[in-house]
Every structure is written in C-alpha cells, then in structure tokens.
C-alpha cells in the first residue's frame, strides 16, 4: 500500500524539487533544519486512496511528485472533484484533524509529510511557514473560485477546452505544437468538470475532428494553436490562475 521512497529520503531539503514553491518556500536555513528533522516521505501508487472523506488525518504535507485529486461526494454517489493537487501543493489543514475531502492519487504520488501536531506548533514558532501557507491558501481560494465560474457557467465544450488548455499551458515548453500528457482518466476529467464521462468523450472527439487538438494514444494531447483552444474555452485573456 505504501513504502518509503529510498531515492528521496536522505536527500536534504536544499535539493528538493519543490523547495521554492512549497509551504517551506520562505524558510531560512535554521527553519529548514528544523523541518528536516520532522519530515518523512511516503509514496502512493496511482489509484490508491490517500485519505477518505471524514478520515482522521494524522499528518499534513506537500506533494513532491505526481498528481492527486480532492473530491467531495453526496450520499447517492454523485461526486465532484474540488481540487487537483500538483507538486508543491499542500494537503491537510492545521487546526483540524479530519479531512472533509477524499484524496486519491491520480498518478504515482510521493509526499513529504509532517505529523499534524508538530506542524501546528511549527506554524506558531516559525512565522514564515504560516505566511507561506496563507499565501498558498489564498491562491487556492482564487483557483477554487475560478473553477466555480467554470462549473456554474461554462458549456460542456468550454469546460473540456478549459481543462485541456490548463494542462497544455502547465506543461508548456514553448515549442509548437504544445504537448501534454493528461494526468487524468476520462472519468476523473468528468468528475472535475461536473460532466459525465460520455460528454467528455464526445467533446474531445469533436475538438479533435475540428482540428483544434490532436491525440496521441489516450493520454497525450497536442495543440498547434493554443489561442484557438482558449477561444473554445470561452476565455480569450490569460486570466486564469494556474491550477
């Protein structure tokens, strides 16, 4: 179910790939040294549940590599993804032990963990961590609110185009055609977009037939002209925060 990732443990924070974006981004050397003594690593395989809705979470932590989903469900099974966690994103919340969301590894995931009680103390002692966490939370809040516009007002085609453009933009290398590997199954995309799997599939097929995107296998997406895709997304400007 999980195991220590020997490739990562033992390396110091200074070589950590998320060093400058995660909750520790603003830490000074001494603060980092303290974190170093507290942290541990853990991995999950794609599809594994990191935590269930209502679970008591004994830890908090940062995604180091991979991608995880945050979902909320109704009793009858209807499910909505409420967040997509990428490297450097923070999981858990100080001051609350139970998680109101289900967290699932979408790809293989490795996390840098802290025991919750210790982390809560850390926030009080080292203001830089609290300040960074506030910044990150406010960014997430903006992203969540942006997504509310997508869920509440966009058409299925716009929703799919929005998601594809976000994924393409995030893995942008500057080279045309833009190329990205979807970290999500059709099912996860539907859950994210508030659609059914069939509608997602139809919209992707339609975008492909119209030459706006091309596919490579089931997960690869290519796009020659992002601006066309952005218009399909109902979103001319660059207004989106990068979630």
Q: CA-to-CA distance for 196 and 190, rounded, in angstroms?
A: 5
Q: Which of 169, 186, 228, 241 binds DNA (CB under 7 A)?
A: 186
- Strand bridging mode 90-91 / 59-65: antiparallel
Instruction: Report what 7 binds from a copy of itself, DNA, none; CB cut-off 5-8 Å by kind.
Output: none
Instruction: Report what 37 binds from DNA, a copy of itself, none; CB cut-off 5-8 Å by kind.
Output: none
Between 10 and 239, CB nearer to a copy of itself:
239
Could you tell me the smallest distance in angstroms from the CB atom of residue 181 to DNA? 12
Question: Site residues for DNA, window 46-75 (CB under 7 A)?
Answer: 47
Q: CA-to-CA distance for 58 and 51, rounded, in angstroms?
A: 10
Q: Give the containing element (helix H, strand E) for 170.
A: helix 156-170
Between 13 and 68, CB nearer to DNA:
68
Question: Site residues for a copy of itself, window 76-105 (CB under 8 A)?
Answer: 76, 78-80, 82-83, 93-96, 100-101
Question: Site residues for a copy of itself, window 140-159 (CB under 8 A)?
Answer: 140-142, 144-149, 151-154
Query: x/- contact string, 194-223, with DNA (CB under 7 A)?
Result: xxxxxxxxx-xx---------x--xx----
Between 13 and 123, CB nearer to a copy of itself:
123
Q: CA-to-CA distance for 213 and 84, rounded, in angstroms?
A: 23
Strand, helix or coil at 188?
Answer: helix
* Short-list 147, 155, 151, 156, CA closest to 205: 156
Site size toward a copy of itself, by CB under 8 A: 48
- What angle do the packed helices 156-170 and 197-209 form, to 10 degrees? 70
Question: Site residues for DNA, window 125-164 (CB under 7 A)?
Answer: 155-157
Q: CA-to-CA distance for 28 and 151, rounded, in angstroms?
A: 40
- Residue 167, classified by CB atoms within 10 Å of its CB into exposed (0-12), middle (13-18) or buried (19+), is buried
Question: Site residues for a copy of itself, window 5-64 (CB under 8 A)?
Answer: none
Between 10 and 95, CB nearer to a copy of itself:
95
Q: CA-to-CA distance for 133 and 18, rounded, in angstroms?
A: 14
Could you tell me the smallest distance in angstroms from the CB atom of residue 148 to DNA? 14
Binding range to a copy of itself, per CB under 8 A, among 30-38, 41-49, 61-69, 119-127: 119-127
**Total residues found in the chain within this entry:** 243
């Amino acid at each position: 179910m999980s195991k220590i990732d020997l490739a990562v443990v033992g390396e110091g924070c200074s070589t950590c790939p998320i060093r400058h974006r995660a909750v520790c981004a603003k830490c000074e050397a001494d603060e980092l040294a303290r974190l170093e003594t507290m942290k541990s690593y853990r991995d999950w395989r794609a599809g594994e549940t990191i935590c269930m809705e209502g679970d008591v979470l004994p830890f908090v932590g940062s995604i180091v590599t991979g991608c995880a989903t945050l979902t909320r469900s109704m009793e009858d099974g209807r499910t909505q993804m409420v967040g997509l966690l990428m490297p450097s994103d923070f999981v858990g919340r100080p001051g609350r032990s139970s998680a109101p969301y289900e967290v699932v590894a979408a790809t293989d995931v490795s996390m840098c963990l802290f025991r919750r009680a210790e982390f809560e103390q850390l926030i009080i002692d080292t203001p830089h961590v609290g300040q960074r966490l506030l910044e990150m939370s406010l960014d997430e809040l903006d992203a969540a609110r942006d997504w509310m516009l997508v869920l509440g007002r966009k058409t299925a085609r716009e929703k799919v185009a929005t998601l594809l453009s976000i994924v393409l933009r995030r893995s942008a290398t500057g080279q045309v055609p833009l190329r990205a590997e979807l970290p999500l199954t059709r099912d996860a995309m539907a859950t994210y977009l508030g659609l059914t799997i069939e509608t997602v599939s139809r919209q992707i097929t339609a975008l492909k037939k119209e030459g706006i995107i091309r596919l490579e296998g089931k997960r690869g997406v290519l796009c020659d002209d992002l601006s066309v895709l952005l218009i399909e997304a109902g979103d001319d400007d660059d207004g989106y925060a990068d979630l």
